[in-house]
Chains A and B, each alone.
Chain A
Amino acid sequence: MERSWYVRLGLVLAVVLGALYLLIPTFVYFSLPQDVRNDPGALEAALPSWAPKKRINLGLDLQGGVHLVLGVDLDKAEQDRITRRADELRNWATEQKLAFQSIRAQPAEREVQVTFASEADASAFGKAVTNYFGDMEQRSSGTTSTYAFSSEALKNFRTGAVDQALRTIRNRVDKWGVSEPTIAKRGDNGILVQLPGFKDPEQAKDLLGRTAQLAFKIVEDGRQGVVEGLGAPPEGITLGSDGNQTYLQSTDRVALQNFVQGKAPEGMEFGIGRVEGTDVPGREPVFRTYLLRSKVELTGDRLTDARPLLDKSGIGSGKPYVGLTFDTEGAREFERLTGDNIGRRLAIVLDDTVDSAPVIQSKIAGGSAQITLGGAKSYNQLLQEANELSLVLRSGALPAPVSVLEERTVGASLGPELIRKGSLAAVIGLALVVLFMAVYYKMAGLIADVALLLNGVLILAALAVFGATLTLPGIAGFVLTLGMAVDANVLINERIREELREGRTAKVAVNNGYGKAFMTIFDSNLTTLIAGIILLQYGTGPVRGFAVTLIIGLIASMFTAIVVTRVLVDARVRGRHGEALSV
């Protein structure tokens, strides 16, 4: 027993030290003045270099900020799309010299109605349409035929519409330099946007609700030495090169933007985009500059469609690319643009963010172009890239209206007050519990108190490691979890009391007490855990914070209430065989 006791003591001490180590950034964060603490630079400066980086984040309800759920109006988007398709059909049919009387969109039914002079015209048209437009199907035939998108095409369109809105929103939020924003899909058509510390909900709603602006600009690769000529960039901004031009790069988009603002030579401007390959979820993206010609060569509203396709020609067969179609005027413009700029790069700029810059290979006439994707990449990577690029292009071509479905804004003044009230209440609640246990169970109570405090430290450390968010209900959950976790020690102590009453020695009583209470503690914690996990699945924002605290607390309490107290209790009963034990 001696040896195993030291091992267990070592384990407990290691866990305590580890937890304290993990809490260093959180401690530093809260000891900084409130207006400084959210500046990543200040926090980094205050932290010792050997300290971990992750800390407990404050939820929107505690630090202020904007929580929005934006709904993409899919009905409206579908109606616009079918109207658009009717125009395309009309142009195409005229070009193909197919006979028809009229082509009209019926947005409410999501149909295009085509009338013909004869049945023969109708069937010729029908064959040609379904051949050329793979995503359409004929609903009814005859001299008044109707066409609609296939259900699969519609389904793809709906998910695509939400994805492109998500993309647009992410671009915009990037530009504001909000630290740690959350942007995620919610349900079928919702997009969750959380902007911690953001103060102006009206501005956020206005900017996020706007439709995306897509523009094509020429990349100015001929000029050397422009970025080098800007002088020494501030810290955090470095030089890079993509083989065609040197650029500046940084993880801080706002700083990058400020540095290059207005410094481009006459007729040129700096665009900002992400460095290729850094757009990975969970990693901080790196932004770079592009030297562009200021002139907008073509705007996105001339684009009628963009989608990922597979190359069916002989060489490079099966390679994904992006197919573009333009309306009549757009086609003319695009032909001129590509003819004049063979060999140059064409920047695709969505809302002032350069998404990509493919090289113009040849003059493209006829209104449909293709963007081939370069580099030695796997099929899946290329397909992914083709998908992403089509989303960007479509955002400019077929924007889906977005409206605010849910808004929760917390002003900056409320948070600190809630933290003050909440933590005071928590401390008082815990003090009462600690006091009661010490009075009621004396020494055994004090041991339970040690476990309780350690449990608290472990919960906070775990929250820090997972970068979890502390919310107002989370504070309540913290106190409540600790209150409930004491149950394990109550069960153990009551058991030991029973054993002692039945005349067992201290050592045996402790052994039996822990042994018999274990299964009960396990069972009862597990059921609470079930409820906690369901809550985590269901909850949003603050309530999730509560569930996370509850779950972590339950797991931590299994360790502190059983392992930690056992180490201390064993130390107490060591050597005592017959003497009384006060529990």
Chain B
Amino acid sequence: MRGPSRRIAQAAVTLVGAAVLVWSLQLLAPGDPARRVLVANGVGNPTPTQVAALRAELGLDEPAPVRLGRWLLAAATGDLGRSWRSGAPVAAELADRLPATLRLAAVALALALIAQHRRADLAARGLVFLGAAVPSFVVGTLLLEVVVVRLGIGRVLADGSWGGAVLPAVPLALAAAAVWARVLRAAMLEVRARRHVQVARARGAGRLRVLLVHVLPGASPPLFTAIGMTVGSLLAGAAVVETIFTWPGVGPYLVEAIVARDVPVVQGTVLLGVLAHVVANTLADLAAAAVDPGRAR
């Protein structure tokens, strides 16, 4: 196997490994998970009978490898188990909330990409600093206060629509744009100094032609990698930003599940994030190889 098929096979192996890791984390938790669920759901001091009944109901009495195997097989078919709180299928609950998060992520990625188009190096460096050092929850809180509450633009309770996605996307985009701008700037400086670019310039190629034909193809693979990395971490960013803007997405669902120790929901949501991360990174690598075949062999 070579080239793309090899990279895709690699991604599949990584994905399975990461799924095993995500599932196995629950073994770190001290104490009886059934007892924790009961306590998290308001049963102050559960009786042994209650605990035993819940253990049986959740299938916790089987050995861990059997439970892991079952979870993996089910997850492969899109079945992520049932929430320990609501009893509803995790996959269905995620599917309800995913479109809003995808809209938010798409707008954030688009904004971050637009922010890459700037001439002034000083402004770019200012953006890098702002996005890299100011926490998204501070940007989000101040934006909500100034734009929504003071200026009355948009609404306090977000509805998850495209139009409403712009404001919550700003803090996410700022953080992503900062990383991308740093990567792209370094790559462009490096490619500009290469000999073939100097030759092209010496032969009288226009600025735009030099940029589009000679510099960007060489400089874009690191950017693709950076974009791929961003997509995966968007889930963590979304948890913060969606909570601030009460965006009806996956983020608040994950946070609620963490607080209530709803392990199947946490695992399912995190697995979704891992899937996005692995797919995005694989696509980024394939794109980088397509643009600059010399580097990814």
Are A and B subunits of one complex? no
